């Protein structure tokens, strides 16, 4: 994907209608490539010249095949079940993340697509255990130990992508080269999956405590750094000096491990809200998340119930896990730019967010009362278990 060849190259991005997929598409288009955004939903932003949107679903091979004619590289970003109540829809997670990935691989080999870059996740090796400066030599977390179906299926999909490296096209006239990038939590102005949910909790007055060890550290990655990593990975797959990235996985982050809640402090305070001083035990919040997941399974579909947190989100935000960038820096030439939440805060302010005088309605009162009651029940159920555990230790 160097400048000399980029004008002749067409790339396809599954999940191209989403936040990161669209940003990647814009970056590739600026480099002179023809970009096809493949997704079930069209981007909300206006597409620049040189980009084409094709509506389709990775669960349907026929729809993929209609879009890949002449494509040299696929960036497979599309996935389902990363956060919130989506994490609890096991069937769709399996269909999109595993069978969808199998369809992408099959489509590459059938249609002569020579490069496949897969967007994976830290979660393929992480399941709630402490990891400090981990690297790519860490084994996959055993599938039965994954605390959520999304992480399990992403691990399966990554395995399939890397196993497909070096396999021949169906016509025998070429070889598929593949690699996987494992990003940390993505942030940037306009991100639509995680940050709006966090801001909504802040504005509703639900962000009243933090949890876990104040010294716990996690990674984040700015969207532009993740774009850079994907461009470099595709270039490395086609590098004449030996397909550097072929069959490899890489952790990708900003390289600045930070406490999860301290990372979001500027977002809370610059929007005019008080940062919580109450810190609760991680085990209590995990138990709370477990019970809210159970509530979702019972009444979620009837009442459109959104869990405040899932168990996986508790681990991801409260347990130390960060990774070395040495392999990505050495083999891909990855050099993350330093970043912070300043531009994110400005984006939310421009959308009208920020602390305003509150007017409490009956709906607000009922909502807060329900949360207090639910948390009181959790506390009453959790305390006896904690006491029993302490008794056993003594």
Continuous segment of H or E residues that includes residue 261: helix 260-270
Q: Contact at 8 Å (CB) between 40 and 56?
A: yes
Task: List, by residue number, the catalytic residues.
Answer: 150
Relative to beta strand 177-183, strand 73-76 is unpaired
State the number of CA atoms in the 13 A half-sphere of 234 facing the CB: 30
Q: Measuring CA to CA, how many Å separate 196 from each of 22, 310, 345, 347?
A: 18, 17, 11, 11
**Rounded distance between C-alpha atoms, residue 212 and residue 284, angstroms:** 10
Q: Are 53 and 68 in contact (CB under 8 A)?
A: no
Do 108 and 116 touch, CB atoms closer than 8 A?
Answer: yes
CA distance 160 to 368: 45
- In this structure, is the dihedral angle defined by the CA atoms of residues 94, 96, 98 and 102, taken in order, positive or negative? positive
Residue 243: CB atoms within 10 A of its CB come to: 18
Distance CA 233, CA 74 (A): 12
């Amino acid at each position: 994907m160097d400048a000399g060849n980029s004008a002749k190259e067409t790339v396809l991005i599954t999940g191209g209608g989403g936040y990161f997929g669209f940003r990647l598409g814009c970056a590739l288009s600026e480099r002179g490539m023809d970009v096809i955004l493949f997704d079930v939903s069209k981007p909300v932003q206006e597409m620049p010249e040189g980009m084409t949107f094709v509506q389709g679903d990775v669960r349907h091979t026929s729809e993929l095949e209609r879009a890949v004619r002449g494509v040299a590289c696929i960036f497979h970003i599309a996935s389902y079940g990363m956060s919130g109540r989506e994490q609890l829809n096991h069937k769709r997670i399996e269909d999109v993340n595993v069978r969808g990935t199998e369809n992408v691989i099959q489509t590459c080999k059938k249609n002569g697509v020579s490069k496949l870059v897969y967007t994976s996740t830290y979660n393929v090796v992480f399941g709630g255990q402490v990891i400090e400066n981990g690297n790519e030599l860490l084994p996959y977390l055993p599938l039965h130990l994954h605390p959520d179906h999304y992480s399990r299926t992403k691990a399966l999909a990554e395995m399939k992508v890397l196993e497909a490296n070096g396999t021949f096209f169906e016509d025998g006239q070429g070889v598929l080269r593949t690699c996987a990038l494992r990003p940390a939590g993505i942030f940037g102005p306009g991100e639509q999956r995680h940050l709006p949910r966090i801001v909504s909790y802040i504005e509703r007055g639900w962000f009243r405590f933090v949890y876990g060890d104040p010294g716990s550290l996690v990674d984040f990655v700015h969207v532009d750094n993740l774009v850079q990593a994907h461009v470099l990975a595709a270039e490395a797959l086609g590098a004449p000096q030996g397909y550097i990235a072929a069959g490899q996985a890489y952790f990708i982050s900003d390289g600045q491990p930070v406490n999860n809640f301290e990372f979001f402090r500027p977002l809370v305070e610059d929007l005019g809200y008080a940062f919580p001083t109450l810190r609760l035990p991680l085990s209590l919040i995990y138990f709370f998340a477990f019970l809210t997941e159970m509530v979702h399974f019972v009444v979620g579909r009837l009442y459109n119930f959104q869990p405040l947190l899932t168990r996986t989100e508790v681990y991801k935000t409260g347990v130390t896990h960060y990774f070395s960038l040495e392999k990505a820096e050495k083999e891909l030439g990855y050099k993350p730019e330093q970043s912070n939440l300043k531009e994110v805060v400005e984006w939310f302010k421009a959308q009208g967010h920020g602390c305003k005088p509150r007017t409490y309605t009956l709906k607000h009162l009922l909502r807060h009362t329900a949360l207090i009651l639910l948390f009181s029940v959790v506390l009453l159920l959790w305390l006896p278990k904690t006491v029993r555990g302490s008794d056993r230790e003594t």
